[in-house]
Amino acid sequence: MSLPSTPYIGRFAPSPSGPLHIGSLVTALASYLDARANRGQWLLRMEDIDPPREQAGAAQIILNSLINHGLKWDGDVFWQSQRSAAYEQHLNQLFTTNLAYWCACSRRQLAPSNGLHTGACRHLGQPEQSAIRLRIGDQPVEFNDRLQGPQIRRGADIGDPILKRKDGLYAYQLAVVVDDAAQGITDIVRGVDLLDASAWQIHLQKALGLPLVRYCHIPVIVGDDGHKLSKQSFAPALDDSHAFNNLCLALRYLQQTPPPDHINTIPELLNWAAGHWQLQDIPAGRQIPAH
């Protein structure tokens, strides 16, 4: 697929719920190399909007780990914890256009539909202790993922996502869309576990009149139990003292051509890998076994 004529702006957007692990390094590296191979910028956004799930010190550990792996971002780190006013303003816009609504449904009430909210309470006004949801409607969303191919999601399949939680915290779907636009992101390379979320995010981009972005969802690294390596499941933290080897392993998972023997520093390795980056060589499925 040909690249857009607009300048490429990519990003990595970790949540500080724990240190990076090899799975998050694979995602960071893929988005970094795709940006560099396209002579683009690579921005860093810390998605620190969920304090109950944060681990003290994790944001700094993540930044150090990226630096130790040579993954230097362009510009300043963008902190979502400082963005409440922008999120509130966009929510107000959605209320004005009648695309957001209050919802007091409990998880138990949604259990019969597997947690999917298809709008039963869309007209109930503003009850106490409510979340705010986006009205998705019947219009299907179609998009073309650079790796996973053409995608289509119908409203009935994805339901209405939460934009602000009952506890008053802004939800990931809202924050990610508002900030991708604020940072001028053109290209998102991230784990395939977020493929379905892209449909919500495209709905939201359209509802807010924001630019659309190109998506590339790469497979996730799974452990022996078949589950995605994650901070929540205590995947081992990256050992920064083995950064060169970690990067080589990440390149192997991405099925990129291995670097020649004479390459033995991190800057050389990253430079070489960006010059030989082949997106189409990444396995197109959803999982890569860690072992």
Of 14, 70, 155, 159, the one binding ligand GLU (CB under 6 A) is 14
Residue 198 or 256: which CB sits closer to ligand GLU? 198
DSSP-assigned beta bridge partners for residue 45: 78
The site string for ligand GLU over 190-229 (x = CB under 6 A, - otherwise) reads x---x-----------------------------------
- Site map 29..48 versus ligand GLU, x via CB under 6 A: ------------------x-
Count of residues that bind ligand GLU according to CB under 6 A:
7
Of 13, 67, 5, 23, nearest to 234 by C-alpha is 23
> Within 43-83, where are the H helices?
58-68
153 binds ligand GLU (CB under 6 A): no
Phi, psi of 15 (to 5 degrees): -100, 135
95: closest CA among 132, 150, 141?
Answer: 132
Q: Is 16 in the site for ligand GLU (CB under 6 A)?
A: no
When the beta carbons of 12 and 253 are compared against ligand GLU, the nearer one is 12
The Cα–Cα gap between 172 and 201 comes to 10
Q: Among 9, 13, 131, 243, which residue interacts with ligand GLU (rule: CB under 6 A)?
A: 13
Hey, what amino acid is at 155?
G
Decide if residue 176 touches ligand GLU (CB under 6 A). yes
Q: Residue with structure tokens 């780990």?
A: 65
Tell me if 248 contacts ligand GLU by CB under 6 A.
no
Order of strands across the sheet that contains 41-46? 9-12, 41-46, 78-79
Is residue 15 a contact residue for ligand GLU (CB under 6 A)?
yes
The Cα 21–Cα 237 span in angstroms is 5
In the complex, the residues that contact ligand GLU under the rule CB under 6 A are 13-15, 47, 176, 190, 194
